[in-house]
Amino acid sequence: MDATGMDSPSIDRRTFLLAGGAMVVSFASGASTNAAAAVAAKGHVAPKSLSLSEVDGFLAIGADGRVTVYSGKVDLGTGVRTALMQIAAEELDTPLERIDVVQGDTLLTPDQGATISSVSISRGGVEVRRAAATARAALIEESARRWTLPAASLSTQAGAVVAADGRRLAYGELIGGRQFALKVDAKVRTKDPATYTVVGKPVPRVDIPAIVTGRFEFMHDFRLPGMLHARVVRPPTMRGRLGEVDDSAAKRIPGYVATVRHGNFLAVVARDEWASIRAARALRAEWANWEGLPAMDRLWDEVRRTPVLRDEVTQNVGKAPEVVEKAARTLRATFDFAIHTHGSIGPSCAVAQWTDGNLHCWSASQQTHELRRQLADMFSLPAEQVRCSYIEGSGCYGRNGHEDAAADAALIARSFKQPVRVQWSRADEHVWDPKGPPTLIDYVAALDSLGNVVAWSSEAWIPAGQSVSRATLVAAEHAGMPVDASHPGSVQNHLAIQYRFPNIRSVAHRLAHTPFRPSWIRTPGRMQNTFGNEVFIDELAHATGVDPLMFRIRALDDRRGVEALERVAKLAAWQPRGGPNARGGGSGDVLRGRGVSYVKYELVRTYVAAVAEVEVNRKTGHVRVTRFFVAHDCGQIINPDGLKNQIEGNVVQTASRALFEELRFDRSTVTSRDWATYPILRFPDAPDVVIDLIDRPREAPWGAGEPTAAVVPSAISNAIFDATGVRMRSVPFTPAKLLEGLRRV
Amino acid sequence: MAHTYALRVNGRTTRVTVDDPDMPLLYALRNQVGLRGPQFGCGLGQCGACTVQLGGQAVRSCSVPVSAAAGKPVTTLEGIGDAGRLHPLQQAFIDEQAVQCGYCINGMIMQAKALLERNRSPSDEEIRAALAGNLCRCGTHVRIVRAVKRAASTMA
């Protein structure tokens, strides 16, 4: 490839301004911050506060009045950038067009924790809101001092403080380019929601025009001058030991630069991307055989037999075991949820550069600050010598391969002066991203002679977790460098239930190991555990002859939860049902049914009530979700259209997981290596999603990135039961499982 | 041995020099022409993220050798419209906010464009069938179908 025609540098649009000791970033409107971040990499930038307790940690106002929000929470394609802009614009009374956002840069943004668990609004947004309200109060105070007027007589409007006589002081004049040097007031008075003009409105996302015209800069588009391209050559087994490497054929590929080997880590570097791919294919490596994975058809036996590190009681009310022992009637059921990949459409990609022993890594990691700690550990460096910058990538839906690609790039780049870009292949992503671990849950419930549920008990077999959510970096493991243990995410969440039964016990058997490196996939644990809970609840409703929606309402003592269920019943025109096919749904080979599900996320926040409507073909076993109804209460809504987009995405993505997805493997490695061997939902199977948003402007704003996913598999399973009388207790609901169930009904 | 090809991309001719005539068109578009519309998703023609129009047909640029594209008109997402002059599909995707992470959106718009060129008022089912080979992971399907429908109505 012609080197002169290679990737043009992208540091061309923005500049850093240094004024009054504070760093202020100026942007072309709507542009990403990536190139600005690259400029800052040169290291001539005054320190910016990263403090969570200081206004300057979150906000800067330039002399031109532009407001920059520094957010440790990043936009993973969820629209949170726009939502944070709305919050800042509202609280500062500044037009949205004058707000910029810098996200996930360890040199610039405070560490607000990883972008996980649907807390970017409830934590990230609230932190920005308090900082903005504190800033606004300070700007009013300063104006009051200059004008010698009482602060109470002043207001803010369009980026300026305004006096009753019409005098104005623009924020740029008051603070432009200087630091606030002010603690965030945790008790600051924020605006009255009744006066909101930006929050609560369906503001269009600021990034979409660039995306639909091909001007947006994804991580995959990020280029630096002189950048080299690398491909990692992963072992053909999950525990590959590397023997001899013959790179003589690779060396003959024009553009080949080097082979990089560290222990069992192998990569090839070239001047252009295609040469790196060809060279990787031409590399001959000897790998020791390894067959340590369980047989796939015996997975659940293996999970049940895995040594337990500890038992974690996740809920204990009354004396469930004794009550079950003596019960007049018991129901038992076992649920399993297959191993899943995140399934990002764009395989992971990262760029790294070493300068004077300092590492700068650009990636689409959802946890730039944690990645920085991990890379520092990996290379035995002080964290101050590592900088991680976020650039939006293909959606990750949890901890996928982005961080691993970053570690690959960092390890390879250590041998070069130039920046190195690593692009994973499709198979790299499917095989080597950490996986949503297998989940196995046994349930037992006890009924008294009147049919009341008197005890509920569940026990789950799930991997053990560490204190910090992070996954081992593959490159560090393969290279024999320091590693952290992998964490599956808080997968014990939602083993506890909200329903009020007199005796409840749930236990998590935390397992010593799991077949694949575990991590969190969107709605980790909450999706798998709520699947079991909400199908088993349906089984209890059916066993006691009560309509499943009414059964839930009766078992709840929560006004907002009940309202969500009542509203979804109205939205879906729910007809009470006493058992499968009670309404005679469907005709011929196609059976129709509806199922309900409900969750209060982690028992403390967002409420979701849902009704799934399915068509089941009893000849083919194919299930299609035709409509999916959601009543959603996440408190104060920041952007109702962005919220609907998230709910729709949760429904469709999780319908895909419930109906189609299962990671396949042999004794050596993952055999789901692409979209043919790991099918996901396609357009003809996408349900219509009907949503009722319950807005509570005076309540705290909660998240929506995950909660709806929790109810989708159970709502579909319950609808399949309604249509067919078959209980689907194993995700995915494949035609084979359904046909087997139909034979038994 | 280096090969030089004249690529006609979005109405402009760019000469690209490559070592391998079998290098997929996608790499020439992204790394030599400097485009950001077509994305690498699988390299297998399975997901559609890299879709461009070649000689008026929607093709997977990850699976077309650059040598086979030489001399034929290539149209990418950048070439159908820009901020000042949006294509009706681009406008409709904005109006419907039919984007989540956006990585697949190039393919959705370019595939839909090919559909609308042969069927000016497709039904929902026809849109879903036409996009069945394009994968979206975020679950933006419902909005994408609405956007294509909206574009069809504005182009009618």
User: In the CATH hierarchy, which fold is given to the domain comprising A296-341+435-511?
Assistant: Aldehyde Oxidoreductase; domain 4 (3.30.365)
**pLDDT score for A466:** 73
A207 contacts on B by Cβ (under 8 Å): 99, 102
**Pure H helices in A71-192:** 80-92, 126-147, 171-175
Task: State ipTM.
Answer: 0.99
pTM: predicted TM-score of the whole model, two decimal places? 0.95
Ordered structural domains, chain B, with CATH? 3-79 (3.10.20.30), 81-155 (1.10.150.120)
Mean pLDDT of A249-262: 98
Q: pLDDT for B37-83, tens place per residue? A: 999 999 999 999 999 999 999 999 999 999 999 999 999 999 999 99
pLDDT tops 70 at residue A45: no
Distance from CA of B16 to the nearest CA of A (A): 7
B37 contacts on A by Cβ (under 8 Å): 213-214
**pLDDT score for B21:** 97
**Cα angle A428, A431, A435; round to 5:** 125
Residue A581 pLDDT class (50, 70, 90 cuts): low
- State the CB neighbour count (10 A cutoff) for residue A328: 11
Residue A599 pLDDT class (50, 70, 90 cuts): very high
Domain boundaries, chain A: 3-212, 219-290+342-432, 296-341+435-511, 544-744
Residue A446 pLDDT class (50, 70, 90 cuts): very high
| Residue pair A429/A344 in contact by the 8 Å Cβ criterion | yes
Q: pLDDT for A483-519, tens place per residue? A: 988 889 899 999 999 999 999 999 999 999 999 999 9
A426 contacts on B by Cβ (under 8 Å): 41-44, 46
Residue A332 pLDDT class (50, 70, 90 cuts): very high
pLDDT tops 60 at residue A26: no
pLDDT tops 50 at residue A4: no
**Partner-chain residue, chosen from B35, B131, B135, that has the shortest CB–CB distance to A214:** B35
Residue A470 pLDDT class (50, 70, 90 cuts): confident
**pLDDT score for A34:** 55
d(CA A433, CA A473) in angstroms, rounded, equals 10
Q: Please tell me what DSSP assigns to residue A603.
A: G
**pLDDT score for A486:** 87
**pLDDT score for A19:** 29
pLDDT tops 50 at residue A32: no
d(CA A411, CA A361) in angstroms, rounded, equals 11
**Partner-chain residue, chosen from B20, B82, B97, that has the shortest CB–CB distance to A208:** B97
**pLDDT score for A22:** 35
**pLDDT score for B65:** 98
Tell me the average pLDDT of chain B: 97
The verdict on a CB contact (< 8 Å) between B19 and A254 is yes
Tell whether B40 lies on the interface with A, counting CB pairs under 8 A: yes
**pLDDT score for B8:** 97
Tell whether B37 lies on the interface with A, counting CB pairs under 8 A: yes
Mean pLDDT of A96-107: 97
Q: pLDDT for A388-402, tens place per residue? A: 999 999 999 999 999
**pLDDT score for A468:** 77
- What stretch of H or E contains A262? strand A256-262
Distance from CA of B118 to the nearest CA of A (A): 19
**Partner-chain residue, chosen from B44, B104, B129, that has the shortest CB–CB distance to A345:** B104
Across the A:B interface, residue pairs with CB atoms under 8 Å apart total 206
Nearest to A510 by CA among A529, A488, A494, A532: A488
**pLDDT score for A39:** 43
**Pure H helices in A213-367:** 248-251, 273-282, 299-305, 320-326
The verdict on a CB contact (< 8 Å) between A683 and B100 is no
**Partner-chain residue, chosen from A221, A347, A648, that has the shortest CB–CB distance to B139:** A648
Task: Please state, in angstroms and as integers, the Cα–Cα distance from residue A320 to each residue in A281, A450, A455, A457, A486, following that order.
Answer: 59, 18, 5, 6, 33
- State the CB neighbour count (10 A cutoff) for residue A620: 12
The verdict on a CB contact (< 8 Å) between A674 and B44 is yes
Tell whether B65 lies on the interface with A, counting CB pairs under 8 A: no
The verdict on a CB contact (< 8 Å) between A209 and B77 is no
**pLDDT score for A588:** 86
| Structure-model confidence comparison of residues A6 and A83, the more confident one | A83
**Partner-chain residue, chosen from A5, A254, A344, that has the shortest CB–CB distance to B137:** A344
- A-chain residue closest to B90, CA distance: A212
Same fold for the pair A219-290+342-432 and A544-744: yes
Distance from CA of B89 to the nearest CA of A (A): 9
**pLDDT score for A584:** 53
Mean pLDDT of A452-472: 91
Tell whether B155 lies on the interface with A, counting CB pairs under 8 A: no
Residue B156 pLDDT class (50, 70, 90 cuts): confident
**Partner-chain residue, chosen from B2, B47, B133, that has the shortest CB–CB distance to A345:** B47
Longest Cα separation, chain A:
85
**pLDDT score for A745:** 86
For the domain covering A3-212, report its CATH number.
3.30.365.10
The verdict on a CB contact (< 8 Å) between A214 and B77 is yes
Residue A578 pLDDT class (50, 70, 90 cuts): confident
A214 contacts on B by Cβ (under 8 Å): 35-38, 76-78, 106
CATH for the A219-290+342-432 domain, from 3.40.50.300, 3.40.50.620, 3.30.365.10, 1.10.3720.10 = 3.30.365.10
**pLDDT score for A46:** 59
| Structure-model confidence comparison of residues A554 and A7, the more confident one | A554
The verdict on a CB contact (< 8 Å) between B41 and A395 is no
Domain A544-744 falls under CATH 3.30.365.10: yes
Residue A225 pLDDT class (50, 70, 90 cuts): very high
Residue A108 pLDDT class (50, 70, 90 cuts): very high
**pLDDT score for A729:** 98
